[in-house]
Amino acid sequence: MFTEELKAFKRLGFRHVLLQVLNFASVIASGLMIWKGLGLVTNSESPIVVVLSGSMEPAFYRGDLLFLTNPSHERYVTGDITVYKIPGADIPIVHRVLETHDVTPKKRKRDNATAAVTIPNQYLLTKGDNNYVDDIELYQGLEWLERKHIVGKVRGFLPYVGYVTIAMNDFPQLKYALLGGLGLLALIQRE
């Protein structure tokens, strides 16, 4: 099945194989740099996420690709669609803000000259559009979501594009076959 490809691979010299490996590594490194750059620009640890459940239907369906931003100066309001991550949970959750509460932090005693303006902490309560109850059960002991739990606010989406990611997670053999095939193509590709 792969006899021709193996013969072509054997005919390549060590320098050519090394060049192909370096090209493949530079493509991977470029992708990682773009991902980290997007994270810096959007102030989000994950600027692109895939919807994994139907809890936000009809707004978003399983497999939709969401684009997030998390500006630090912007407050969340009721109706915003947020992505949050609870400590100890692996998968971020996409739900709508149901309530917000601003709580002013306690001030420490200081000089009046050095007193800084205190920004109130914002607490959020969320709920999936397709769920009957709010998300307090999902918060694992927390009463409210804090700003540190928020990954970002949804700014846009592409419908059904994320099904590729879902398929690769549901069928790991597909993921390994695709990665192996791409690696093999990178090695035997001729310039």
**What amino acid positions are annotated as catalytic residues?**
55, 95, 135
79 Cβ contact partners less than 8 Å away, ≥ 6 residues apart = 96, 97
Phi, psi dihedral angles at 94 (to 5 degrees) = -105, 110
How far is 182 from 127, CA to CA, in rounded Å? 40
Strand residues in the chain grouped as ranges (E): 48-50, 65-69, 81-84, 93-103, 121-127, 150-158
Q: Could you tell me how far CA 173 lies from the centroid of its own chain?
A: 23
In single-letter form, the type of residue at position 23 comes to N
176 Cβ contact partners less than 8 Å away, ≥ 6 residues apart = none
Phi, psi dihedral angles at 100 (to 5 degrees) = -130, 145
How far is 191 from 179, CA to CA, in rounded Å? 21
